[in-house]
């Protein structure tokens, strides 16, 4: 706090604001690694991503079977789809695509601005 | 000895997760009792509120210790939110901040001796994750209308592949609340069980119990890190999901 310029001088406020904004941390590979935690946390996360999609797939399969009376075909189909979704989750989590759907890397501001323009 | 153990008198490492009724309430045959879990939630909310209200009471230009802590917490989540969601999601920031503080205080309070960790119950974390999931989906529909469904179509994929890819994307989307809740719940549950198991060795081993005691001390530090990290992960994932819903892909 003490190394900041004299707050009473308002002239260079814009310059200081720009400097502060430039100092703002960007979402980087490093912050991603921080979010991932250590090796064990990483392994655990992969497991959760894989299994949660499988749970959803199998759940949908069982419900559809019960509803349509097609035991066990929907279960078999959605088991495979759920496994694929699990692998997709893992691929996204590890490929630097973040946790979101879609295939765009959540990297820098320019990318986000470009994405906004594209949708306008 | 066996009787107390049978009643979960603190000997089982899992006894710490038991729910006790404090004020039994029944409404229309549904048990809505005030339990130790509810009590800890109320304490977490009260402490989080006190922390911020008292910290910012004076709003001094040069912050004191308490105000600094409150400001650092706010700045931390605000920075996280700014870099993942951006300006257009600004009005959802209070929700993310509240969520972060609630989980953080819940995890930290659970580390106190004789306390209870409400985030170690899957139903609690799943309810939180479900609120996030449903809320984010509503935000997506409100912002994009039916165009939200293009979210499930991978860009550039041939139409022939759509019948295969769309169910996979939908399942992947539906798996979000599960992975979100299981990650928090399992981390906290495993950590607390491990602490209790190792602490159980301390008394049993006598003088050699110093060793597990040292491990417990180290583990408590690790648990504090995990308590913070899991609240952070929950908040950042909420931000990322929100960003997805606001921008599609």
User: Closest chain B residue to A26 measured between Cα atoms?
Assistant: B83
pLDDT for residue B179 is more than 80: yes
Domain borders along chain A are 36-119
pLDDT for residue B15 is more than 70: yes
Whole-model pTM? 0.79
**Closest approach of B134 to chain A, Cα-based (Å):** 15
The per-residue pLDDT of chain B, averaged, comes to 88
B66 CB-near residues (< 8 Å, 6+ apart): B54, B55
pLDDT of amino acid B72:
92
- Residues B5-27 have a mean pLDDT of 74
Q: B247–A116: do the CB atoms touch at under 8 Å?
A: yes
- Residues A53-66 have a mean pLDDT of 94
**Closest approach of B44 to chain A, Cα-based (Å):** 24
- Residues B135-152 have a mean pLDDT of 90
Q: How many separate domains does chain B show?
A: 1
User: Closest chain B residue to A44 measured between Cα atoms?
Assistant: B183
- Give me the interface pTM, i.e. the ipTM: 0.78
Can you tell me the distance from the alpha carbon of B13 to that of B7, in angstroms, rounded to the nearest whole number?
Answer: 13
Domain that holds residue B215: 2-247
Give the tens place of pLDDT for each residue, B95-108: 999 999 999 999 99
Nearest to B237 among A26, A27, A99 (CB): A99
Can you tell me the distance from the alpha carbon of A48 to that of B232, in angstroms, rounded to the nearest whole number?
Answer: 17
The per-residue pLDDT of chain A, averaged, comes to 71
Can you tell me the distance from the alpha carbon of A61 to that of A3, in angstroms, rounded to the nearest whole number?
Answer: 62
pLDDT for residue B188 is more than 90: yes
For chain A, state the CA radius of gyration.
23
User: Closest chain A residue to B234 measured between Cα atoms?
Assistant: A35
Nearest to A43 by CA among B183, B218, B193: B183
Contacts B233 to A, Cβ<8 Å: 35
Give the tens place of pLDDT for each residue, A61-117: 999 999 999 888 999 999 999 999 999 888 888 776 555 455 554 443 334 433 433
Partner B contacted by A37 (CB < 8 A): yes
How do B21-23 and B34-35 pair as beta strands?
antiparallel
What whole-number percentage of chain B has pLDDT above 90? 55
**Closest approach of A48 to chain B, Cα-based (Å):** 6
């Amino acid at each position: 706090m003490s190394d900041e310029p004299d707050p009473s001088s308002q002239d260079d406020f814009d310059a200081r604001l720009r400097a502060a904004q430039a100092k703002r941390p960007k979402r980087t590979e490093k912050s991603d690694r921080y979010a991932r935690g250590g090796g064990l946390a990483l392994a655990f996360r992969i497991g959760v991503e894989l299994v949660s999609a499988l749970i959803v797939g199998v759940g949908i399969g069982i419900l559809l079977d019960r509803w349509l009376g097609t035991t066990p075909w929907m279960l078999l189909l959605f088991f495979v789809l759920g496994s694929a979704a699990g692998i997709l989750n893992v691929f996204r989590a590890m490929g630097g695509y973040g946790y979101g759907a879609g295939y765009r890397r959540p990297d820098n501001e320019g990318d986000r601005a470009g994405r906004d323009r594209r949708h306008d | 000895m066996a009787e107390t153990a049978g009643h979960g008198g603190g000997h089982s490492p899992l006894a710490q997760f038991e729910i006790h009724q404090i004020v039994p309430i029944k409404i229309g045959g549904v048990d809505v009792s005030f339990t130790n879990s509810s009590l800890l939630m109320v304490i977490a909310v009260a402490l989080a509120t006190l922390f911020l209200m008292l910290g910012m009471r004076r709003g001094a230009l040069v912050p004191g210790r308490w105000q600094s802590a409150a400001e650092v917490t706010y700045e931390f989540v605000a920075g996280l939110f700014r870099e993942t969601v951006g300006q257009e999601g600004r009005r959802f920031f209070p929700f993310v901040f509240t969520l972060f503080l609630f989980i953080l205080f819940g995890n930290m309070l659970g580390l106190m001796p004789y306390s209870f960790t409400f985030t170690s119950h899957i139903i609690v974390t799943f309810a939180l994750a479900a609120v996030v999931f449903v809320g984010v989906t509503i935000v997506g529909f409100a912002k994009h209308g039916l165009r939200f469904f293009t979210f499930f179509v991978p860009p550039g994929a041939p139409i022939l592949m759509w019948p295969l890819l769309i169910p996979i994307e939908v399942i992947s989307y539906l798996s979000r609340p599960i992975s979100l809740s299981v990650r928090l719940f399992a981390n906290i549950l495993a950590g607390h069980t491990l602490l209790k198991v190792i602490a159980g060795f301390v008394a049993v081993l006598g003088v050699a119990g110093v060793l597990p005691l040292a491990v417990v001390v180290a583990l408590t530090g690790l648990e504090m890190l995990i308590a913070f990290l899991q609240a952070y992960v929950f908040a950042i994932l909420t931000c990322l999901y929100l960003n997805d819903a606001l921008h599609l892909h």
